[in-house]
Amino acid sequence: MTDQELIQGNQQAWRLLKLLGEGDAGEVYLVESARDKRNAILKRPHRSSFTADVLRQSTQIHTEASILKSLSDLRLSGGEYHVEVIDLVDQSLPGNELSERFFIVIEKATGVPLSALARLAHFGSEDAPIAVDNLDGDARLYFQKLVETGAVPTLLVLRVLDGLFELLEAIHTRHIEWIDAESFGILWNDIKPDHLFWDPAGRCLSVIDWGNGQFLEQDGITKDRLYSPVDDYRQLIEEMGKFLAETAPNLHASLQWPVSVSPADATPEGLKPLRDRIHVLLMKETGDLAEVRQRETYLVSSGEPSMRLLQELAAVQQQVILYGEMPDYGATARIHARLAGALAFDARLAEFKQVCEQLASLPGAETEQWSTLARIAGVAVEDEQASGLFREAIQDGLNGDWHSVLWTLCAATRNDADPARWRNLSGIVRRMITEISLDTPTPYVTLNRLVQLMEDELAQWAGKIAAAPVGGSQGLKADEIRAVLRAYESLVARLKNEIIKKWPQLDPVPPGANLTYTELDAILYELSDVFLKLGVNPSARLSALTRALSQPRAQTQIIIDA
């Protein structure tokens, strides 16, 4: 297999990105759809297996596909959370069902598996085998904050336990009819924390890996007569009991979680006392969370924001995280933005810098813009002499006028002996405006330097040609040079008057001129051609231009002069 391997499904083609695991049940890959670049999980028989193993693995994978189809519309609501089974996205073309070419593609679960969440809470992201950075902004920040608590939220665990009981009761009694057969329930047969994904953003428990699942006959037993719903309940008690004992021993004791359960008690009726205890604690934790949420709502909707309000809000939102839910980061960002504007207006730049840094870390915030404003504020605090201009740049940035920010930074650093601050700040702002590399000279700067060199050259040749004779062989040569210089002068005038004067900001394309980097290269070649006609070695001139463009300070001065 290579990273470029494509396999055609019934709906679309899939690119195999990474082998996630392989074993007795087959191979599992991370894949990407060729159509919309969506990530998913692919399962298929092991390619090097014997024929009998391929038949067994493909049959098992086919059964999993049938189970996922049967549960595609299952969505259980626990009031404040919900439980769902991941979707079957695609499978191989018809006719491959019992061969090594058979495969299924499954939705990639959102959130984090319960087992990894526990390791994350206790040991941090470095020791937990999950990629927090691959989550979206809200979820990533949530799990980073969870590390600070050092515990798995009790309410989250109670919701998972309650959801598991609801799920088993629903699938064990789910009646399914096909054209030539029917099923009277589904057995999961693989309950473990690794297969339970919690998404705090959607308050959703996603259940994965139905490879061991089987359909139930009318008498509630699998077709091979080996398993029944009793086995699911016994797995639940054993696997979740171990999880609770290791990660939430106090909750394990409060629930009086049984060490084991007999076949007679491994039923909804036999486990009802345990479910009742879960429900009582769940209601209490939910009520406590509601009070914390009310306090959060009050703070985000209160009057004028202040540093003290932000501190109190941060403490309340840490409590929200302790209950396993996502704080209202959107409202938090809006409060930070309002306070940042007020602090900038009052010239409280040290506090403004602090608020901008906090805001840049919030999900959904314009991270680069707020980070840049924080950096400008930091420079302004250090440079009292130019702080007025820096405050003007900050106000322009708050108004979203980043072109003005760039020009104001030029003025603020006019007399700066060390251009490092200019390079750092202007490069970032220029990238936000133009989306070009920090090290790429802008066409405006390139053109200014080019026109300066051309004007210098014109002045030198104008003096030489004025003394040239008229008529004769020497006069003919002078006339030819005059014609070249007139074309040269016309080019300079066109660049200077028709392009530069119409170009008031540092855009990659000047307004009204449609100048591109390709056209700049063409102008350089045209200049080189003129030098050749004048009998001048162009390499020295062009290398001087190149050196000038490589000097950020020279670029800065050109912009300021312009």
Report pLDDT for 179.
80
Q: Look at domain 110-283 and name its CATH class.
A: mainly alpha
Report pLDDT for 508.
38
Q: Using the Cα atoms of residue 192, residue 193, residue 199 and residue 205 in order, give the sign of their dihedral.
A: positive
Residue-level pLDDT, tens digit, the chain, 562 residues = 455 688 999 999 999 999 999 988 899 999 999 888 899 999 999 887 688 889 999 999 999 999 999 999 999 987 889 999 999 999 999 988 888 899 999 999 988 899 988 887 777 655 544 555 556 667 777 887 887 788 899 999 999 999 999 999 999 999 999 888 899 999 999 999 999 999 888 899 999 999 999 999 999 999 999 999 999 999 999 999 999 999 999 999 999 999 999 999 999 999 999 999 999 999 999 999 999 999 999 998 887 899 999 999 999 999 999 998 989 988 999 999 999 999 999 999 999 999 999 999 888 778 889 999 999 999 888 877 767 888 888 999 999 888 778 777 766 765 555 556 666 777 778 777 765 555 554 555 556 656 666 676 677 777 666 666 655 555 556 677 777 777 777 777 776 766 665 554 444 333 334 444 455 555 555 655 665 665 555 555 555 444 433 333 344 344 434 4
- Alpha-carbon distance of 156 to 196, in angstroms, equals 12
Residues 6+ apart with CB under 8 A from 57: 24, 25, 26, 45, 46, 49
* Fold observed for domain 1-108: Phosphorylase Kinase; domain 1 (3.30.200)
| Token pair belonging to 194 | 């690794």
Q: Would you call 384 exposed, middle or buried from its count of C-beta atoms within 10 A (0-12, 13-18, 19+)?
A: exposed
Instruction: Tell me how far CA of residue 286 lies from CA of 43, 156, 167, 312, in angstroms.
Output: 38, 10, 20, 22
- Alpha-carbon distance of 292 to 153, in angstroms, equals 14
- Alpha-carbon distance of 324 to 151, in angstroms, equals 10
Torsion, CA 95, CA 98, CA 100, CA 103, rounded to 10:
70
159 DSSP 8-state letter: H
| Token pair belonging to 394 | 């900050």
Residues 6+ apart with CB under 8 A from 430: 406, 436, 438, 442, 506
Instruction: Tell me how far CA of residue 527 lies from CA of 289, 435, 466, 491, in angstroms.
Output: 72, 29, 22, 9
- Which position has the token pair 């099923």? 183
213 DSSP 8-state letter: -
Q: What is the pLDDT of residues 163-194, one digit of tens each?
A: 999 999 999 999 999 888 899 999 999 999 99
Report pLDDT for 82.
94
| Token pair belonging to 284 | 């209490």
Q: What is the pLDDT of residues 384-393, one digit of tens each?
A: 776 788 888 8
Strands 104-107 and 88-91: antiparallel
